[in-house]
Structure 1
């Protein structure tokens, strides 16, 4: 019984974190936010943090990141505090991952970046359930004629639907980020081995959003398509996301064939992080 309670709580936190990254990642790749956070004085940071909490509290009254919520004032306040905390932790992890905050970053600069980046991350926590809850699949599936309903064709169809949804989600999130200079700024500041952390974070976020957060029925997804397992689906769709990221960078002329392969790899993996979040969200909503 106690284990079930802890598992339910963990899934609620993962749902909140999933929404946090979905909302927060686009602004994470914004030079202006880094600059504003670095130069803002402490009193204004407190005002920003307080305003964020009030907005989160108002959203919690009608939404919340848990599946059930008793709208008593104290519970709403406690859940809002938790949502703000999850948002700030996710924002901090993302800033450290992209090396916008390092051990040599001044405390005031790090705190400023964290407070401003935590605004969309915290709002994403509160809106996670309404944003990432999958609609009724039965209304969205196209029925095949009876003579074409062999298991192989159905599996192939479901696999293609997953890949299409991954591409659509990746493009929706990453398309506006791809033409910006922030991709190259971030990639150029990352040591080669740090790129492995970017890959691991992208895979972990994709897996957590689709399989660990409780937004979808894991046993149902394992019976769909040709990808067969959470691990294989996560790996294959990540390759799809990386291909889409590279094509978006080429489309916006951020990469050309005169660039060294290290720059191709770094820029693609850095853009692949938000694209992975978008691709996972896309698969949830089909």
Structure 2
């Protein structure tokens, strides 16, 4: 190949990557926008326990690394490429979050640095997930599906979706109110509804991108191996997110169980949606 041809090829690659970064920015804005408009998210930036925030950000980086392998915003075939994509997505998430917070005057130069950094850090979590998912949602629909066809990969996608949707709901006061007014019978019904919805969304309602039953398994094997496992993940994610945001501090065990049950509905839906769209 001539030097000119190499230069043209490299130039095309750089242009494509620039387009991917712009898609990532668009995905970051779309995913971050609902949370940006909630007062509870503004408060979390300076009230959230800093050690819990650091742990949450570390887990977010691990999640982005996994999503980069499963559905990064560019095709990558090595750990180095996946890591670079993870860092790029997180960087885009930070920039998009800072830009939106500045645009709404939610951060300013006169604010305490700890408050500014806290707000950006919290908001960058959904924004970075949106940036990473942008290639699937905003890119070429004819791109080859690179998702690993394995049980662990399926469960990981459920975890990512559950975490994202739980993160959208957990900071709100309404979620706490619902858990407070519900009776144990309401909680039992909600568990059944959440579990059935997760299974139906992924395997029964024939949505675009719906999964075939893994390995030709029958209903019960699929239900126990995937749907029930996915709901268990949704419960654990719900408990973790509530703890991260301080919702479980000083709260009776029964009330914590009610909050987890309430949050498991959006978590389960998030797990199902992730299986459909990623």
For the aligned pair, the TM-score class normalised by the smaller chain equals: 0.3 to 0.5
**TM-score normalized by structure 1?**
0.45
Comparing both chains, which one has the higher relative contact order based on Cα–Cα distances under 8 Å and sequence gaps of 6 or more?
1
